[in-house]
């Protein structure tokens, strides 16, 4: 359905009807077109191969034909093979062209007299193909964190109707992905708790969300579907024939596995799983907590907290000494005006205490397998693994100026909370 604007400054838009409603065609070009084209191309190639195979079988079965007819058949097979090769090469070129369609989104960072505009969250989520990115393991945690920021802060009601539909479709896609992969269930549980609160608020008599009543009825039906999907998730334990299991691995291998965990909740859950080896590694060794603290925090932050902990321990010792009775002389002595402890503390600090103190005061470091990147040249958001059509590739003069510049410095990583700031959320 083409729409031609009456304003001479705007060329108008071409809209396409999809399952989610009417969408702009140029938005659907990002991400989804290459997948559909590749599936159509593969199906066409498969049909040609089946036709070629049937033709070969019919030729072998009809050997009683005359020699002239057999030669004609062989010529026809040769022509079919050449046509198939040409068609496959054409499809290969088409596949390369389809792969060049990269999900990206140009944004307006600062409005000027020449550039005035705003950033739409729904268009950005569609152009960056967030719904399909849920099935990518590298991008799953990033998208779940973004959804958690939107749902937990009660910003859903402030979004537009299109953005709300995209948001709930992404939540449903997350539920399907967790159900099929049986991984990251804790992330889904955090989102479900917020969805239940949202459903209770919508069902109450007072304080109903603003917007279309029909639209929010669809949202409630989507929330109910997500809750039903989550209720049917069952974790299938590996059978007895699967060997080795985690409890059968040696202590060195289990330690290396625990060192890869970046969240203290995962360590504590592993310690409570019932394995004595894991429990001793988590609570008996300081290495896991030391490397966890060094991963999330800088050396300066760790040194500051160590100094604070040492001062707190000294004050606690002085208070205990002043309040203790004379029978505690065997533990403490006094040399002049200085308090001396007969059993001094160990030189190794309590890294678990250091980690939790830093976690509460500073906050954990956000680390994702893949993040959105912002190009400083064209003001374009893109996924790092996919790339984007940048102005550098189109302007040779501008490319010469950037020969001595580090290309990695031109791309700025954008965490989820910074991504929402582009849309004043």
Mean pLDDT of the chain, nearest integer: 75
How many angstroms separate the CA atoms of 138 and 135, rounded? 9
How many angstroms separate the CA atoms of 134 and 188, rounded? 12
Angular region, 336: left φ>0, alpha ψ -120 to 50, beta rest: left
**What is the tens place of the pLDDT at every residue in 209-219?**
667 788 888 88
Helix (H, G, I), strand (E, B) or coil at 382: strand
Give whole-number Cα distances, 245 to 137, 237, 238, in Å. 23, 11, 8
**What band does 54 get if pLDDT is binned at 50, 70 and 90?**
very low
How many angstroms separate the CA atoms of 80 and 70, rounded? 15
Report the pLDDT value the prediction gives residue 5, as an integer from 0 to 100: 55
Give the max Cα distance, the chain. Answer: 121
- Please spell the DSSP secondary structure of 304-346, one letter per residue: HHHHHHHHHHHHHHHHHHHHS-GGGGGTEEEETTEEEESSPPP
- 179 vs 68: which has the higher pLDDT: 179
Residues in the chain: 425
Report the pLDDT value the prediction gives residue 390, as an integer from 0 to 100: 78
CA dihedral 141, 147, 150, 153 (to 10 degrees): -70
Question: Would you say residue 354 has pLDDT above 90?
Answer: yes
CB 293 within 8 A of CB 358: yes
How many angstroms separate the CA atoms of 219 and 226, rounded? 10
The 10 Å Cβ neighbour count of residue 273 is: 10
Report the pLDDT value the prediction gives residue 143, as an integer from 0 to 100: 94
- Please spell the DSSP secondary structure of 81-121, one letter per residue: HHHHHHHHHHHHHHHHHHHT---EEE--SS--SS------H
- Please spell the DSSP secondary structure of 155-187, one letter per residue: -STTS-HHHHHHHHHHHHHHHHHHHHH---HHH
How many angstroms separate the CA atoms of 18 and 216, rounded? 20
Question: Would you say residue 90 has pLDDT above 60?
Answer: no
Report the pLDDT value the prediction gives residue 115, as an integer from 0 to 100: 62
pTM for the full model? Answer: 0.70
Report the pLDDT value the prediction gives residue 334, as an integer from 0 to 100: 43
Helices 299-323, 351-361: axis angle to 10 degrees equals: 110
Please tell me the least confidently modeled range out of 165-179, 217-231, 336-350. Answer: 336-350
**What is the tens place of the pLDDT at every residue in 137-180?**
999 999 999 999 998 877 787 888 888 999 999 999 999 999 99
Question: Would you say residue 52 has pLDDT above 50?
Answer: no
């Amino acid at each position: 359905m083409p729409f031609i604007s009456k304003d001479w400054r705007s060329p108008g838009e071409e809209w396409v009807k999809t399952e989610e409603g009417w969408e702009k065609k140029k938005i659907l070009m990002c991400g989804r077109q290459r997948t559909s084209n590749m599936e159509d191309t593969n199906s066409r190639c498969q049909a040609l191969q089946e036709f070629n195979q049937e033709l070969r079988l019919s030729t072998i079965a009809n050997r009683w034909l005359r020699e002239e007819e057999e030669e004609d058949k062989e010529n026809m097979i040769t022509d079919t093979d050449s046509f198939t090769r040409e068609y496959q090469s054409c499809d290969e070129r088409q596949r390369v062209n389809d792969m060049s369609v990269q999900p990206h989104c140009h944004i307006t960072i600062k409005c000027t007299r020449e550039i005035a505009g705003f950033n739409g969250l729904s268009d950005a989520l569609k152009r960056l193909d967030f719904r399909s990115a849920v099935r990518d393991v590298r991008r799953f945690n990033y998208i779940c964190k973004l959804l958690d920021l939107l749902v937990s802060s009660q910003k859903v009601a402030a979004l537009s109707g299109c953005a709300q539909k995209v948001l709930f479709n992404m939540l449903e896609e997350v539920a399907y992905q967790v159900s099929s992969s049986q991984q990251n269930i804790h992330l889904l549980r955090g989102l479900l708790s917020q969805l239940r609160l949202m459903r209770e608020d919508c069902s109450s008599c007072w304080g109903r969300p603003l917007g279309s009543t029909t639209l929010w009825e669809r949202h409630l039906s989507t929330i109910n579907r997500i809750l039903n999907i989550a209720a049917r998730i069952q974790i299938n334990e590996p059978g007895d024939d699967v060997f080795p299991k985690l409890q059968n691995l040696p202590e060195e291998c289990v330690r290396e596995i625990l060192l890869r965990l970046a969240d203290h909740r995962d360590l504590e859950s592993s310690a409570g799983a019932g394995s004595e080896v894991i429990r001793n590694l988590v609570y008996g060794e300081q290495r896991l907590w030391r490397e966890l603290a060094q991963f999330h925090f800088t050396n300066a932050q760790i040194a500051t907290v160590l100094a604070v902990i040492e001062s707190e321990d000294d004050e606690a010792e002085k208070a205990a000494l002043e309040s203790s009775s004379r029978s505690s002389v065997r533990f403490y002595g006094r040399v002049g005006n200085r308090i001396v402890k007969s059993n001094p503390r160990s030189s190794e600090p309590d890294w678990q205490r250091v980690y939790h103190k830093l976690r509460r005061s500073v906050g954990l470091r956000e680390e994702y397998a893949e993040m959105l990147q912002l190009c400083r040249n064209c003001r374009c958001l893109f996924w790092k693994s996919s790339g984007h059509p940048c102005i550098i590739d189109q302007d040779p003069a501008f490319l010469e100026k950037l020969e001595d510049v580090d290309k990695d410095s031109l791309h700025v990583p954008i965490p989820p909370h910074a991504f929402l700031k582009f849309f004043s959320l």
